[in-house]
Structure 1
Amino acid sequence: MLVDINLLPEKERERSTLLIAALVIIGVAILFWATLFILSHRLSKETVQVEAQISGIQASQATIREGLQPTTDAGDREQLTATVDWAEAYRFETLPLLRELIALLPERGFFVSFEFTAPHESNVTVQFDDKSDAAYYLTRVKTSEEIANATLESLTAVELDEENDAQLLPRFEAVYHMEFHDERGVVVEVDEPADVDLEEQEDDLDA
């Protein structure tokens, strides 16, 4: 007696399984490349912003040098030249500092502004997707060897534009005040007459 066995349903199941596996692999590959593209785009945008800030600083220095008009007094010209040379030698190295601060950013954080408020202090504005990223970034900044002290001055929610709601945009804006380790040193000169007057005042007080 012959038995007729039909294997077509099993073959169809195998084909369906292979098709689903292929679709999953293709979906994972597409997701991977999309993530890689987004990260590359964000890094390129941050690099352009840093380069623009550096160009602005260099342009400001060039404007200051051009604004120093020559005078007829040779002593004044020498003093102005010495002041410019001192400023060039004394300026804070901004590029390594910005690279350090960018490296400490979380995945979805980027700079909005960077402004010096003192020779070794600045206000830094950063945007995040998540409010907790602001505290996370502050913790990482405090562990940096470049930072002497850092505080979170404010944290505000940023309203998204309805037209751009589908884009991945930050939703919180944090302002930090940072103090940097300054190894340049500050020399304060005191005139001798001022010391003499101070000693005379001390003698008068003792009398």
Structure 2
Amino acid sequence: MAAVQINLLEEKEQKNRMPHFLIAGAAVVFLLIVLVFWLQAREVQEENRRLEEELAGLKATETEISSATDQVGTERQMLQQAVNSLEEHASVAELLKETVALLPERGYIEYFSLEDNAVITMDVRFDNLQETATYLDLLDHYERTSDVDLVGVTEKELDAVVDPFDYRSPYLATYRVELPGSENAGEEEEAENESVLEP
């Protein structure tokens, strides 16, 4: 007869490990996500730092270019002023040369002044009064003058004995010559004088 064994002890239930695996998997996924975000944040910070350095470099370059441009502009302005000054001096020298060419043989300019590039005042020595009138007429018809006035003539008596090397023409004539650019200035000055004289 076969023996029958009866187990009266309760059978142990096997533990369900699935929740543990799920929690561990979730933790690993969370750590991976955190790691990815951290790496991306570092990349963004590095990119920002690189862009800031490039921006600082561009600003420095812009400042240098601006400074160089200002310097070039200043130098160009100084050069233009120098050119204008040279042109004015050349014009005055040419004008003086031409007024000297109009003088009689023994006439000479003792004093020459140019005011505002528009009005000339000069003292000229002559041997006689006729030369003062002739020179006035020549200046009046000269193409680079607009108005000429003989301000005055003074005469110096000659000594009985004169050293030829110390000879000075006895007549000193003072001329006031207006150039074409001085007409407007003269009109403005007259208008100011009239307004002052009015009661």
Q: TM-score of the superposition, structure 1-length normalised? A: 0.44
Larger radius of gyration: 2
